[in-house]
Structure 1
Amino acid sequence: MRASDDKKITVLGLGGVGGYVGALLADAYPHVTFVARGERGKSIRENGLILHSDYRGERTVHPENVVETAADLETQDYIFICVKNYSLEEACRSLAGCVSEDTVIVPVMNGADPGDRVREYLPRATVIDSLIYIVAFANADYSVTQQDKFANLYVGIQDADPADWKKCCDVTDLLGGAGVDCTASRDIQAEIWKKYILNCAYNVETALYNNSIGQLRDDPQKAAIYEALVDEAWHVALAKGIHVTKAHRDAILHRFHYELQYDATSSLQRDVNAGRPTELETFSGYIVREARRLGTAAPVSEKMYEELKETCRKAD
């Protein structure tokens, strides 16, 4: 028996990311709990969680437990939080009773600061920062689809001491044992910001203009705006002391111009169009506030943030 087989693992948030990670964990380990409310929870209890994965194949998994809330769970060894940023505080409060000094929490979420926020809400646990490169989404029937031949997760604690680094490696081993590609990074903040800088342009501009990436590329003015958004977020990162280089910035722009699929859209764009709650504050508000705090100019980001706030207000 593997050492991980004894571990109690909870996944909270069963959308695209949580559904993919949760399905692989539940397929590999016996003591996995999903926190899923309402019809989603009912569907998983009755039918299992169905994953359609280009990378890891079709599977239906039945976790040991599916609960409406984490409030009644016993102490967990590992907790993966995969919710939208606007739900993070509520999620953490629901987890308070199942967290001890030995619990490891991994928020697998968008943005630059979910790890810090979880540390604030749940200070007893060890919180490991992470990011994931994945194309995944939940379907109307509560199944989850993962597209393309990659799904890469990075974990780490910045300036980790030996004990914390071991916990990062343990998480890597746990996920790797389930077939989740995972790398422990000594400079996790640089990894997080490389993705975040991309998303500050990708999500914001696709959402404001309701264009695909290809449509933005085809319009020289919009392409220039995309580059300005990348530059402003990059300069905020530099002002924060994050180790992101000009080569990283150039790679983000190269991906926009030459690598991203023509018809690619963003989660913020889809949420705005559907009139759902959005992560506008994650992708735009945060960078604007940090730029102001640090005295870094971000006029394009500020303008688009205000315009998107108005778009979201009208949709409400």
Structure 2
Amino acid sequence: MRFVIVGTGGTGGCLGGYLALAGNDVTFIARGRHLMAIQEKGLTIRTGHRGDIHLADTKACTMEAYQGTPDVLFVCVKYYGLSDAIAFAKRVADRYTLVIPILNVYGTGEVMQQELPEITCLDGCIYVMAQVEAPGIIAQPQKILRVFYGFRPGQDRHLADKAHALEKILKEAGISCQFTEQIRRDALQKFAFVSPLGATGLYYNATSEAFQHAGPEREMFVGMIREVIAIGAAMGITFETDLVETGLKLIDAFKPGLRTSMQRDVLAGGASEFEGLVNRVVALGEMYRVPTPLYETVREWGVAHHVQ
């Protein structure tokens, strides 16, 4: 299969890097100094569990320069970059292309599908802790790399065989993955971790160790998970695991000093995923008549501090 990775940050760099390391045909879409470094020296993933992974002969280009039609298009951009990714998919994908958004924001596949009615846009999510350390270098301090993807209920499944084959390819590349029949549940379960973590970390300007003991950060984190669980229940989604317990187990395993991507973006003074990770939850709460007081607190804080 021909893979294209739109967005070569922590998520796309790890996902595409492991696929390329296993011998798959992968093209990375990037820009600026990061793209130049990859083109000149290749892509390096500095991991905390297997040392440095260096991919010397890495195919990388801009959206404008890419020519071809991928079998699988992984969209790994920030939520505020989704419109550019949609325009790119509209140009390069066809009815045989699987488009799989791997974003932090719940329901992105459905958003893309509305703009790309002739293309198969699945929903997906990923568990990974990674970021761009320097141009051409991705830091992956935590071993976790787990992908879920699947068709939404009632979606055209003419590419089901390709979706099944993709699962095997990902696993052979060392990526834990599942082609799931419950992607709404699985994606919301992941969202119930990354959204509370990002929102709480931003609100308190907290790093990972602040969540690992009793205190306001851990309390708000747990409370926000419960608000997302309540929204899921109103949507008819039943979770098979205790999301609070799962979330605490995940955060307790983090190394100290880690910040979420939304925190880093806000601290850098640029655009962030606040709209998708905070405001979207408030909107879903209003839609399903579920109270979200903690999210509303963070939303109001964001307005007061002009967070984009």
Identify the range of structure 1 (247-256 vs 180-189) with the bigger mean alpha-carbon deviation: 247-256
Whether the aligned pair in 2 keeps the contact of 1:202 and 1:226 (CA below 8 Å) is yes
1:209-245: per-residue Cα shift (whole Å, max 9, x none)? 1012433555644433333212211111111122225
Match of 2:238 in 1: 243
The match for 1:172 among 167, 180, 199 is: 167
Decide which of 276, 279, 289 is 2:283's aligned counterpart. 289
Residue aligning to 1:195: 190
Find the aligned partners of 1:293 and 1:269 in 2 and give their Cα distance: 27
The offset of 1:67, in angstroms, is 1.8
Deviates further, 281-290 or 17-26: 17-26
Alignment partner, residue 28 of structure 2: 34
d(CA) in 1 for partners of 2:47 and 2:254? 20
Determine the C-alpha separation between the residues in 2 that align with 1:28 and 1:256.
27
Amino acid at match of 1:84: K
Matched, 1:305 2:288: no
What is the CA distance between 1:17 and its match in structure 2? 0.8
For 1:209-228, what aligned pairs fall within 5 Å after superposition?
A: 209-216=204-211, 218=213, 220-228=215-223
Q: TM-score if structure 2 supplies the norm length?
A: 0.90
Structure 1 residue corresponding to 2:72, chosen from 74, 78, 86: 78
Q: CA, structure 1 residues 72+14, in 2 after alignment: closer, same or farther (shift >3 Å)? A: closer
CA contact (8 A) 2:34 2:134 kept: no
Q: Is the CA contact (8 Å cut-off) linking 2:150 and 2:179 kept in structure 1?
A: yes
**Would you say the 8 A contact 2:20–2:26 is kept in 1?**
yes
- Where does residue 54 of structure 2 map in the other structure? 60
Unmatched 5+ stretches in structure 1: 1-6
Distance apart, 1:75 and its partner CA? 1.8
Aligned partners of 1:49 and 1:143 also within 8 Å: yes
Pairing of 1:87-236 with structure 2 (within 5 A): 87-159=81-153, 163-216=158-211, 218=213, 220-236=215-231
The alpha-carbon distance between structure 1 residues 31 and 213, as it changes in their structure 2 partners (threshold 3 A), is closer
The structure with the largest helix share of the pair is 1
Q: Flag the 1:217–1:152 CA change in 2: closer, same or farther, 3 A.
A: closer
Partner of 1:3: none
Distance 1:230 1:57, change over 3 A: same
Deviates more, 1:258-267 or 1:286-295: 258-267
User: What one-letter code is carried by the residue in structure 1 that aligns with 2:170?
Assistant: L
Distance 1:253 1:38, change over 3 A: closer
- Provide the secondary structure at the position in 1 that maps to 2:140: strand
Aligned AA (1:266): T
1:258, CA displacement in angstroms? 4.8
Which deviates more, 280-289 or 58-67?
58-67
Question: C-alpha separation between the residues in 1 aligned to 2:253 and 2:2?
Answer: 40
Q: Cα–Cα, structure 1 residues 49 and 248, in superposed 2: closer, same or farther, change >3 Å?
A: same
Query: Partners of 1:131 and 1:57 in 2: how far apart?
Result: 25
Tell me if structure 1 keeps the 8 A contact 2:101–2:124.
yes
CA RMSD of aligned residues (A): 2.4
Q: CA deviation at 1:178?
A: 2.5
Q: 1:183 to 1:301 in 2, by over 3 A?
A: same
Between stretches 65-74 and 142-151, larger displacement belongs to 65-74
* Residues 148-157 or 83-92, more deviating: 148-157
User: Aligned partner of 1:224: which letter?
Assistant: E
Shift of 1:161: 7.3
Partner of 1:272: 266
Residues 157, 168 of structure 1: 8 Å contact kept: no
How far apart, in 1, do the equivalents of 2:133 and 2:253 lie?
26
Contact 2:210 2:218 in 1 (8 A): no
Identity, in percent, stands at 24
Shift, 1:15, TM fit: 0.4
Amino acid at match of 1:80: F
